Amino acid sequence: MPHRIEITLKDEVRDPRGERIKREIEHFLHLEVAEVRTIDVYTVDAPLSAEELAQVAAGPFSDPVIQNYSIDKPAAAGFDYLVEVGFRPGVTDNVGRTAGEAIGYLLGRPLAAGEGVYTSVQYLITGKLSQADAEKIATGLLCNTLIQRYQILDAATFKAQGGVAPFVPKVQVEAKAEVNTINLEISDEELMRISRDGVLALTLDEMKIIQAHYRDPKVVETRKSLGLGAAPTDVELEALAQTWSEHCKHKIFSADVTYDDGQGNTEKINSLFKSYIQKTTADVRAAQGDKDYCLSVFKDNAGVIKFNDDWSLVFKVETHNSPSALDPYGGALTGIVGVNRDPFGTGKGAKLIFNTDVFCFADPFYEKELPKRLLHPRRIYEGVVEGVEHGGNKSGIPTVNGSLVFDERFAGKPLVFCGTAGLMPATIKGEPSHQKKIIPGDLIVMTGGRIGKDGIHGATFSSEELNENSPVSAVQIGDPITQKRMFDFLIRARDKALYRFITDNGAGGLSSSIGEMSEECGGCQLDLSKAPLKYPGLAPWEILISEAQERMSLAVPPEKIDEFMEMAKRYGVEATVLGTFTDSGIFHMLYGDKTVAYLPLSFMHAGLPPMQIPARWEKPVHEEPKLAPSADYTGDVKALLSSLNICSKESVVRRYDHEVQGGSVVKPFTGVDNDGPSDAAVVRPILDSFEGVVVGHGICPRYSDIDAYDMAANAIDEGLRNYVAVGGSLDLVAGLDNFCWCDPVLSERTPDGPYKMAQLVRANKALYDYCTVFSMPLISGKDSMKNDFYDGTTKISIPPTLLFSVIGKMEDARLAVTMDVKRAGDQVYLLGATANELGASEYLAQKGFVGNNVPKVDAQAALAGYRAYGAALKAGLVASCHDLSDGGLAVAAAESAFAGGFGMELDLAQVPFKGDAAEKSDIALLFSESASRLLVTVRAEKAAEFEKAMAGTPCARIGAVTAEPVLKVKGLSGSVVVNAQNAELKAAWQEPLKDL
């Protein structure tokens, strides 16, 4: 009989959680409630005595200073409606797990298999509400019905039935470890039905390739000798579907593309990845010669570059879009703890030194009708922000840099980019730590969490568009503490060289990790029945592809296994030997004695011919707005500062620990009141050294509405310019590309595939064109190609988006520069030329236009400017520097001024302009988003030296910092066109998201 322990706050203690829910009910659901109080419920499914229950309730479960507990007796009282929300069976319940462990310490023995603790929360709502209102609160705010269950009781019913009955959300499955075979000697329609019904995401061509493989007489013969039938087992089919999924195989990036540039030229591109991304790095490295600092690129879970002689720097950025659309909290949490495993699973393992996050959402205040199944953007915003908060903070990794980007189309799918950098010793026991190998005979070991049904079909599901039937099981909830424990152990095992190879279990689970590891040595033999399970009853194929979190796969030499296992035990980490790496050429899965999958690696990893994808570029033409000149743009500047893309994100950023590990040098916020927005982050990962790691990023999806080539060019330039602004060195800098696209493959559902594919081609061309000039190798990246929502009637495709992250070094972090103006009398310079480039700008968006003049990046000019600026910074000539991006000069000047607490007087006539003089206007000078520009302030006595340093680049003194805290801009006519107090500008900038 399960027991319910309910924990209430004492009457006089405030309930911040309840207060927040009350505010959200009023704010978002527009319902009046008088009060919300909350109760924590632990349902203990273990035979504890009354005395033990009391000890547990009084001890670890409640805080005697502020809480009361009640055992098997309802504590709730004085409410109109009660909503209790708990997890559905099988969903990760971290608090429940910790509660179970706590009982174990108390009893002196761990809970037995099948015993457990399950948590839920009761919300006691007081107010004049109807049952329907309560229902709305439950489903619209408190409960994500995909992963949680709820019940609503009014006070009378609650009383009548004597409280809430205990409910144990235990996974109840018939134990059925059976293996089925799938007959593929069927019609094409039947083949596709199998793919669709099984969420395999295999195309007909792919199904037929599999069919052909099983028809091969040699294959038939081998299978016969092993006692396997002619038809594939479900384990084999699932392994192939996972290995060949877009998510894991990147079929679009390796496809053969026929690109028609719209001007009569056709180009054949064999693999965008090889032709542009890999080639960028190869060409940059060749040109750098012996100055090459790349150590491991594209072949491991993350990229590795040299930091100094003793340390190497590791970086990876991932996306977790589809899961975040379904369960924003769990999806985003899993996104961040998932990407943590990438640098940790690179080379022999890296210590994690910081996270970066970029989120793309629709307007959280969106008021229009949304297609069914889509969560409101506000819930996505709340959930994602909180998921990444918990994932990052609890892992003890500072979140140092990020962005929030808004566009209505992200209602179809939010983008959740999570990045993590790590630091590894250059060598461990004399061997380079960025390299690893497997020797046949090494043992296959899995460490960390157990396997459940969570995350089954994550890899294949994210390879399809989101639709009404997207599987619930594809969602996982991460557990940062289990992972942290595992990392604490593994990093010590690494330093003792107890393993030879490590990789992460992410998308595709064991199928992916062991499949890829097998390629290193030429085969594997693994017994799926040895894998530790969360609960019994998983089929072998489920064990193979489950994406249950917090697991690493390792190759441990047999002579080290005892020490490895003993150490794991001591650190409280589960480690299991699952099999042996071989050189048989076969991916060989057993379940006990029985072979359940026997796949030649050559077929698994090379059996798939490239896709053929057409691409046809057609330059879109948008209405070109005629903007009437105005005598005063102060209102426009304030409106821009209040736009979602530009406004302060402080309410989110302060929820992320950006200083843990003690190396913070340039923080997300800076200036006299610690609230000005930094361009990039500087971190000292080694506390007794002043060498800094610098990280920044660029992202401008809206530019894709005009040309994805320029979207990519501007993202790259923005990333580099943010990096350079704070002091990042151009001599040790690397890029990382994350493509998030809408499906670009021509099909019935995607008739505009060729256009979207052409956008992808163009973005890749820009990547090559700019990174080679900037001498910036690409070290890693990721693509997510199916960011569409389609429910049969409504299709929402995201704007093609490249997140370009930049990481590198500054030799002396004490030279870092921040964006806040420092003192009155300093001279203000604008670096880089401005053009009439309002196309797809924030300014035109506010006026309801897209326009056509998207900013063009002049790579050579940009580089010359950045080099000169870098030298000036090193010489100590720069007081402040802020990058110009969304909102142009006007926004950058306002931000620098109010961050520094001084005013600024600028003269637009002094701004370096490129292009036809007839196009020069106050609007263009104030709001154009022309690339490669920096707003710099310099001490008056250093002005001459600074000008000398910048000689030969478009750089002009455009004004001065003033004591009076006012932004005053003189227009081309000589009259003042912007005039506002810092305080009002700052208020406009801080207002929109301050209460979220």
Partner 1 sequence: MTKAKALVITGNGTNCETEAAHACKLGGFDEARIAHIAELLTGEVSLDDYHFLNLTGGFLDGDDLGSAKAQANRLRYAAVEGKEERLVDQITRFIADGKLILGVCNGFQLLVKMGMLPALSGNYLKQTVTLTYNASGRFQDRWCYLKVDPASPSLYTRGIEGGVYLPVRHGEGKFLVDDAKTLEAIEAKHLSCLKYSDKNYAAPTMEFPENPNGSVNAIAGVCDETGRIMGLMPHPEAFVHRTQHPRWTREELPEEGEGLIFFKNAAKYVKENF
Which parts of this chain interact with partner 1 (CB under 8 A)?
13-14, 16-17, 19-20, 59-61, 63-66, 94-95, 97-99, 101-102, 105-106, 108, 389, 393-396, 479-481, 484-485, 488, 492, 570-572, 654-667, 669-672, 674, 684, 687-688, 690, 813-814, 816-818, 820, 822, 900
Tell which residue, 461, 378, 313, 455, has the closest CA to residue 140. Answer: 378
Burial of 54 per CB tally in 10 Å (0-12, 13-18, 19+):
middle
Cβ at position 658, least distance to partner 1 in Å: 6
| Closest distance to partner 1 from the beta carbon of 804 (Å) | 26
CB 726 within 8 A of CB 817: yes
Residue of 600, 585, 594, 524 whose CA lies nearest to 227: 594
Helix, strand, coil in percent for the chain, rounding step 5: 35, 25, 40
3-state secondary structure of 323: helix
User: Catalytic one among 27, 30, 213, 247?
Assistant: 247
Question: In sequence order, which ranges of 540-626 are alpha helices (DSSP H)?
Answer: 540-545, 561-570, 601-606
Closer residue to partner 1, CB minimum distance, 52 or 431? 52
Instruction: Give the tokens for residue 875.
Output: 């010489």
Q: How many CB atoms lie within 10 A of CB 747?
A: 9
Nearer CB in complex with partner 1: 391/419 = 391
Q: Is 333 left (phi over 0), alpha (psi -120 to 50) or beta?
A: alpha
CB-nearer residue toward partner 1: 19 or 408: 19
The residue annotated as part of the active site, out of 320, 390, 457, 697, is 320
Tokens of 315: 């970086």
Q: Is 247 a catalytic residue?
A: yes
- Strand locations in 741-841 (E): 778-784, 788-790, 795-797, 801-810, 827-831
Task: Pick between residue 485 and residue 588 the one whose CB is nearest to partner 1.
Answer: 485
- Residue 647 CA to residue 637 CA, distance in Å, equals 12
Decide whether 426 or 481 has the Cβ nearer to partner 1.
481
The sign of the CA dihedral 90, 95, 98, 99 is negative
376 a catalytic residue:
no
User: Which single residue is written with the structure tokens 């009708």?
Assistant: 369
Nearest residue (CB) to partner 1, 335 versus 900: 900
Reading phi first (left if > 0) and then psi (alpha if -120 to 50, else beta), residue 633 is in: alpha
CA–CA distance, 426 with 309 (Å, rounded to integer)? 7
Could you tell me the sign of the dihedral formed by the alpha carbons of 673, 677, 678, 684, in that order?
Answer: positive
**Long-range contacts of residues 103-108, Cβ cutoff 8 Å, at least 24 apart:** 103/44, 103/46, 103/48, 103/56, 103/60, 106/52, 106/55, 106/56, 106/59, 106/60, 107/48, 107/52
> Least distance to partner 1 from the beta carbon of 171, Å?
21
Residue 333 has phi, psi (to 5 degrees) of -60, -45
**DSSP string for 858-887:** -HHHHHHHHHHHHHHHHTT--SEEEE--TT
Closer of 57 and 444 to partner 1 (Cβ): 57
The angle formed by the CA atoms of residues 321, 326 and 332, to the nearest 5 degrees, is: 50
> Regarding beta strands 116-126 and 81-87, do their DSSP bridges make them parallel or antiparallel, or are they unpaired?
antiparallel
Nearer Cβ to partner 1 (63/632): 63
> From the CB of residue 101, how many other CB atoms can be counted at a distance below 10 Å?
15
Pairing of strands 903-907, 966-970: parallel
Nearest C-alpha neighbor of 325 from the set 381, 380, 385: 380
CA-CA distance, 443 to 971, in Å (whole number)?
72
Nearer to partner 1, 480 or 887 (CB): 480
* Cα dihedral 961, 966, 971, 977 in deg (nearest 10): 170
> Between residues 319 and 937, which has the closer beta carbon with respect to partner 1?
937
What one-letter code names the amino acid at 532?
P
> In this complex, which beta carbon is closest to partner 1, that of residue 610 or of residue 662?
662
The whole-angstrom separation of Cα 405 and Cα 75 is 44
Strand, helix or coil for residue 917: helix
Nearer to partner 1, 74 or 668 (CB): 668
Q: How far apart are CA 475 and CA 786, in angstroms?
A: 17
Residue whose CB is less far from partner 1, 237 or 486: 486
Angle at alpha carbon of residue 760, lines to 755 and 762, rounded to 5°: 95
**DSSP β-ladder status, 443-448 and 427-428:** unpaired
AA identity, residue 516:
E
**Active site members:** 247, 320
